[in-house]
Amino acid sequence: MLKFLLQRLALAVAVAICVSILTFGLLGATIDPAIAIAGEDASAEKIQALREAFGYDKPLYIQYANWFGSALQGNLGTSPYFGLDVSKLIADRLPVTMKLGALAISFAIGLGVPLGVIAAIYPNTWIDRVALSVAVLGQAIPNFWFSLLLIIVLAVQLELLPVSGASTASSYVMPMIVLGTNAVPAIMRLTRTGMLDTLQADFIRTAWAKGLRPRQVFFKHALRNALIPVVAVTTIQAAHMLGGSIVVESVFALHGLGMLAYESILRSDIPTMQAVILIFSGFFIVFSALSDIINAYLDPRIRVA
C-alpha cells in the first residue's frame, strides 16, 4: 500500500511540473503583461521599462526557471493588478472555494447515490422514472439560469436566504444546490447501472441464500461493489467543482478561486493566472489519486495490482 501511495505521489508531481511548463509557455506566448499593466495608451518607453522591471524581457525559459525557483520556496510572485503576494491572494480565496466545493459534492453524493440505489432496486417502475427525470433535468438546466431562479424564489420572494455574499453559512446554500445539482445526474446514473450489474452477480445470490436482510444485501454487498465506478467520476466532478465554479461564484458574489481566475484573466495578471491554473490542475491530480486510493480501499483486488 505504501509503495502504491508513493508511486501515485511521484506521478502527481510530474504532472504538476508539466502543467506549469505548459501554462507558462502558453501565457507567455499569448499575452504581453507589460501592456496590460501600463494601460493601452502608455508610451513604448514606459512599456519597455515595465518589461525590464518585471523581467518580462528575458527569454521564457529563464523566466520559467526564476518562477520555478521561487515557487519551490513558496513564493508565487506578486500580482501586478492586486499589488499583493499571489500566495496571499490564494490563501484568502481558497477557503471559500473549498467550502463551496465540499458542500456541493456532499450534496451531489447525498442525492445521487440514494437516488441511484432506489432506481436500481425498483428498475423500470415510476420510482426509476422519477429518478431518471431528476437526472435529465439536473443535466439540462444551465447553472446561471438555475442560480437566478433560486435567487428569485428562495431569496427575493420567500426571503429565506441571502441573495449573495459569503457572510453567513446560509449564503452557501444556493451555490451548493446549483453546483451540486450539476454532478447529480452522472453520480445517480452510474450508481444505478453499477447496482443493476452487481445485483445480478453470483455473490448477491449467495447473500440471499445466507438469509441476509435486504438492507444488508443492497447496502453492504451490492453498493460496495457498485460504487467503484462511481468513485472515479465523483472525484473528477469534485475537482471540476473546485476549479470550475466561476459562473456560480460570480452569480452569488462569492470571492473564491473561480472569481480570482476570472478577475486575473480580465486583467492579464500573469502571476495570478499561473498560480490559479496550477492549483486547479492540482485539484485534478489530488482527486484522481484520491479516487485510486478510495477504490483500493473498496476493492481489495486493486491493492495488489
Partner 1 sequence: MANSPSAYVVVQNLRIDIHTSSGLLHAVSNVSFQLTAGEVLCIVGESGSGKSMTALGLMGLLPAAASRSAELLSVDGRDLLTMSPEEKSDFLGNRMAMIFQEPMTSLNPCFTIGTQMEETIRRHRNVSARDAKLHAASWLEKVGIPSSAGRLEQYPHQLSGGLRQRVMIAMMLMCEPKLLIADEPTTALDVTVQAQILQLLSALQKELGLTMIFITHDLGVVSRIADRVAVMYAGEFVEYGTTRQVLKNPQHPYTQGLLKCLPVPGRTRRGAHLGTIPGSGPSLIGNLSGCCFANRCEYAAPVCLEGKLPLFVREDEHGVRCRFRPEELAPLQTVDAVPQ
Task: Point out which residues bind partner 1 (CB under 8 A).
Answer: 201-203, 205-214, 216, 220-221, 224-225, 298-301, 304
Instruction: For partner 1, give the closer residue by CB, 123 or 142.
Output: 123
* CA gap 27, 300 in Å, rounded: 44
The residue (of 19 and 204) whose beta carbon lies closer to partner 1 is 204
Closest CA to 31 of 257, 258, 273, 275: 273
* Closer residue to partner 1, CB minimum distance, 144 or 208: 208
For residues 86 and 92, give the distance between their C-alpha atoms in angstroms, rounded to a whole number.
10
CB closer to partner 1, 170 vs 216: 216
Residue 129 CB, shortest distance to partner 1, in Å, is 18
Which of 130, 246, 234, 122 has the alpha carbon at shortest distance from 184? 234
Q: Exposed, middle or buried by CB within 10 Å (0-12, 13-18, 19+), for 257?
A: buried
Residue with Cβ nearer partner 1 (141 or 232)? 232
In terms of CB distance, is 129 or 224 closer to partner 1?
224
Smallest distance, Å, CB 221 to partner 1? 5
Distance CA 248, CA 261 (A): 13
Question: Could you tell me if residue 74 is left (phi over 0), alpha (psi between -120 and 50 degrees) or otherwise beta?
Answer: left
Min dist CB 186 to partner 1, Å, is 23
User: Greatest CA separation found in the chain?
Assistant: 84
| Shorter beta-carbon distance to partner 1: residue 41 or 202 | 202
- How would you label 82-118 residue by residue, b for 16+ Cβ within 10 Å and e otherwise? beebbeebbeebeebbebbbebbbebbbebbbebbbb
CB of 213 to partner 1, least distance (A): 6
Distance of CA 30 to the CA centre of its chain: 26
Minimum distance between the CB of residue 122 and partner 1, rounded to whole angstroms? Answer: 12
- What's the min distance (Å) between Cβ of 3 and partner 1? 18
Tell the smallest beta-carbon distance from residue 222 to partner 1 (Å): 9
Q: Which is nearer to partner 1, 85 or 299 (CB)?
A: 299
DSSP string covering 35-52: HHHH-TT--HHHHHHHHH
Q: State which H helix or E strand residue 127 sits in.
A: helix 126-140
C-alpha cell at 108: 451531489
* Least Cβ distance, residue 4 to partner 1 (angstroms): 16
